[in-house]
Amino acid sequence: MHATTPVPYRVLARRRETADTVTLDLVPAAAPLGPFRPGQYAMLYAFGTGEIPLSTSGITGDTLTHTVRAVGKVSEALCRSERGDWIGTRGPYGTAWQTPPAGSDVVVVSGGIGLAPLRPLIEEVLARAEVYGTVSVLTGYRDPGEQLFLDDLPRWRCRADVQTTVDRPEPGWRGSVGLVTGLLDGTNYRPERCAAYLCGPEVMMRATARELLRRGVPAERIRVSLERNMRCATAWCGHCQLGPVLVCRDGPVFGWDHAGGLLSTPER
């Protein structure tokens, strides 16, 4: 069950990630929504401005964490929220990341802010790292200043292979330069036992999925998150229709055996 009327949540904490991106921890004023699963999303309402869909970037008890980039009127209003402000929240909506089968080698690949919806999955996997094989987190950004969750990386590196690449290096950058697909060359995983999770620009997800397929990873073991034009979250408005599916209802997470056909037409 999920709410169709926004429920008031209070901003417990606000952390700046980059020049235009913040992470908000939200706590309920009364009965909480949920429970949320990694990969699902909420509709966040900036009072007097409007609402947008945002996947959770953290789930801790009744606290919901969302990472917001200021790219429009509503997201800009959410980014301006301060501790103690109120945000309308409804959900949970959509499909979740599928928990990797025990014994899998886990490969997580993100582009830009696509790391945010993957963060709860990474935390879930690393909390049970002993039941998996190798765990790899591959992140790509336009430049080093766009990197997210820098405080998490040292802890993740204790249990996972974490690699980052950028398109445009800055003075002092010592990491990789180039497309995130290039990081697969230095990643250790068994294709037939790999569970892969991708989130980012569609061009990046298509290229990464095709590269994983070429290397022998089965399509049904590759999962992607799509968020095309979601507006109502209830499959009423039709703005998110993609072929035969409504992304807000049937997604945002799909297996590549399904999503590959859906993404054959590039986003405009």
pLDDT value of position 1: 47
The rounded mean pLDDT for the chain is: 94
CB hemisphere CA count around 107 (13 angstroms)? 27
Segment 237-258 shows an average pLDDT of: 90
Residue with tokens 């009423």: 236
More confident residue, 238 or 191: 191
At 212-232, the pLDDT tens digits run 999 999 999 999 999 767 888
Q: What is the 3-state secondary structure (H, E, C) of 167-211?
A: CCCCCCCCCEECCHHHHHHHCCCCHHHEEEEEECCHHHHHHHHHH
> Which helix or strand (DSSP H or E) is residue 32 part of?
none
Contact by Cβ (8 Å): 160, 126: yes
- What does the pLDDT look like over 121-141, one tens digit per residue? 999 999 999 999 999 999 999
Domain 105-224 fold: Rossmann fold (3.40.50)
List, for residues 147-168, the tens digit of each pLDDT value. 999 999 999 999 999 999 999 9
Q: Which of 218, 208, 221 is nearest to 254 (CA)?
A: 221
Long-range contacts, 7-10 (Cβ 8 Å, 24+): 7/31, 7/32, 7/33, 7/88, 7/89, 7/90, 8/86, 8/87, 8/88, 8/89, 9/64, 9/86, 9/87, 9/88, 9/89, 10/84, 10/85, 10/86, 10/87
Cα dist. 219→92, 195, 229, 246 in Å?
A: 27, 10, 25, 21
> CA 149 to CA 181: how far, in whole Å?
21
pLDDT of residue 268: 52
Token couple for 179: 């497309």
pLDDT, position 267? 54
Question: Do 105-224 and 7-93 fall under one CATH topology?
Answer: no
Spell out where the chain has E strands. Answer: 7-18, 21-28, 41-46, 50-55, 58-60, 63-69, 86-93, 105-111, 135-141, 161-166, 176-177, 194-199, 222-225, 241-242, 245-246, 253-255
Query: What CATH fold (topology level) applies to the domain 7-93?
Result: Elongation Factor Tu (Ef-tu); domain 3 (2.40.30)
pLDDT at 59: 96
**Domain residue limits, the chain:** 7-93, 105-224
- Other Cβ atoms within 10 Å of 45 Cβ, number: 23
Question: What would the mean pLDDT of 59-65 be, rounded to a whole number?
Answer: 96
Q: Is the pLDDT of residue 91 over 90?
A: yes
CA distance 204 to 149: 20
Mean pLDDT lowest for which of 27-41, 151-165, 184-198, 231-245?
Answer: 231-245
